[in-house]
C-alpha cells in the first residue's frame, strides 16, 4: 500500500462542481448501498470513506457515533454535508427523508396499502379487531397498531 491514508483518500475523491456545497463523490470501492470504503492501515481493515472525510476535517469520532449525510448521497464525502448523530438520529433521519422500507416496501409486511384502507373502514364500522385480523391473516396486535396510528400512520385516507 502506497501513501498515507489521507493521500490515498483524496486520490479517490471527485469534486463535481466549483461550488463548495456540491457533493464530493467517492470514486473508490463502494458497498451495495453506495457508501465508499477505503483500506486502512494493516491487513484487511476497510473504513467507511465518509467517516474518514469527517475525521480529516474535524478530528476523531467518538465510539458509537454515526456520521450522517445531509445530502442523502451515500457516496458523498464532502465534510460540509456530514454531521454526527446517534444510531437513533440516523434512523429518524432515514424515516424523515422517506428512505425507510415502510408499508408494502417492507419485505416482511403482510399487508398492502389497499388492505390498510379497508381495515380502517372496517374499524370505523366497529368490526372487532380479531375478526379483521383473521380476514387478513395478521395478529390482532397488527390491527390494533393500525387503529392507534402506531403503524401505517403516514398513509393518508383516500377521499372519493
Please tell me whether the overall predicted TM-score, pTM, comes out greater than 0.75 for this model: no
**What is the model's pLDDT at position 95?**
74
Crossing angle for the helix pair 113-124 and 140-148, to the nearest 10 degrees: 80
Query: What is the C-alpha to C-alpha distance for residues 4 and 6, in angstroms, rounded to an integer?
Result: 5
Query: What is the C-alpha to C-alpha distance for residues 71 and 91, in angstroms, rounded to an integer?
Result: 15
pLDDT at 124 exceeding the cut of 80: yes
CA dihedral 48, 80, 71, 37 (to 10 degrees): -10
Q: What is the pLDDT of residues 143-153, one digit of tens each?
A: 999 999 888 88
Query: What is the C-alpha to C-alpha distance for residues 78 and 144, in angstroms, rounded to an integer?
Result: 44
Question: If phi over 0 gives left and psi between -120 and 50 gives alpha, with beta otherwise, what is residue 69?
Answer: beta
**130 in the same domain as 111:** yes
Check which CATH number belongs to the domain holding 62 and give it.
3.90.75.20
Which grid cell is 41? 492501515
pLDDT at 108 exceeding the cut of 80: no
Q: Is residue 68 part of a domain?
A: yes
Q: How many CB atoms lie within 10 A of CB 37?
A: 17
* CB-based contact 39:3 (threshold 8 Å): no
Q: What is the pLDDT of residues 6-22, one digit of tens each?
A: 999 999 999 876 677 89
Q: Is residue 154 part of a domain?
A: no
**84 in the same domain as 12:** yes
**119 in the same domain as 92:** no
DSSP assignment letter at 47: E
pLDDT at 111 exceeding the cut of 90: no
Q: Is residue 118 part of a domain?
A: yes
Which of 35-49, 60-74, 85-99 shows the lowest per-residue confidence on average (mean pLDDT)?
A: 85-99
24, containing H or E segment: strand 24-26
Q: Is residue 58 part of a domain?
A: yes
Full residue range of the structural domain in which residue 134 is found: 103-148
Read off the pLDDT band of 160 (50, 70, 90): low
**90 in the same domain as 17:** yes
Which of 112-121, 127-136, 147-156 shows the lowest per-residue confidence on average (mean pLDDT)?
A: 147-156
- What is the domain count for the chain? 2
* CB-based contact 105:95 (threshold 8 Å): no
Q: Is residue 41 part of a domain?
A: yes
**What is the model's pLDDT at position 130?**
95
Q: Is residue 160 part of a domain?
A: no
**What is the model's pLDDT at position 94?**
79
**What is the model's pLDDT at position 93?**
81
**What is the model's pLDDT at position 123?**
94
**89 in the same domain as 70:** yes
Last residue of a domain, one of 96, 119, 139: 96
Amino acid at each position: 500500500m502506497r501513501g498515507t491514508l489521507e493521500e490515498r483518500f483524496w486520490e479517490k475523491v471527485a469534486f463535481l462542481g466549483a461550488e463548495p456545497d456540491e457533493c464530493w463523490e467517492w470514486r473508490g470501492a463502494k458497498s451495495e448501498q453506495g457508501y465508499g470504503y477505503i483500506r486502512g492501515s494493516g491487513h484487511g481493515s476497510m473504513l467507511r470513506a465518509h467517516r474518514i472525510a469527517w475525521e480529516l476535517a474535524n478530528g476523531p469520532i467518538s465510539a458509537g457515533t454515526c456520521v450522517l449525510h445531509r445530502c442523502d448521497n451515500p457516496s458523498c464525502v464532502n465534510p460540509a454535508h456530514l454531521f454526527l448523530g446517534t444510531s437513533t438520529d440516523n434512523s429518524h433521519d432515514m424515516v424523515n427523508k422517506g428512505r425507510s422500507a415502510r408499508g408494502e416496501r417492507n419485505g416482511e409486511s403482510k399487508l398492502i396499502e389497499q388492505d390498510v384502507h379497508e381495515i380502517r373502514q372496517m374499524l370505523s364500522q366497529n368490526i372487532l379487531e380479531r375478526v379483521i385480523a383473521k380476514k387478513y391473516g395478521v395478529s390482532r396486535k397488527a390491527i390494533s397498531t393500525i387503529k392507534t396510528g402506531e403503524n401505517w400512520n403516514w398513509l393518508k385516507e383516500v377521499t372519493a
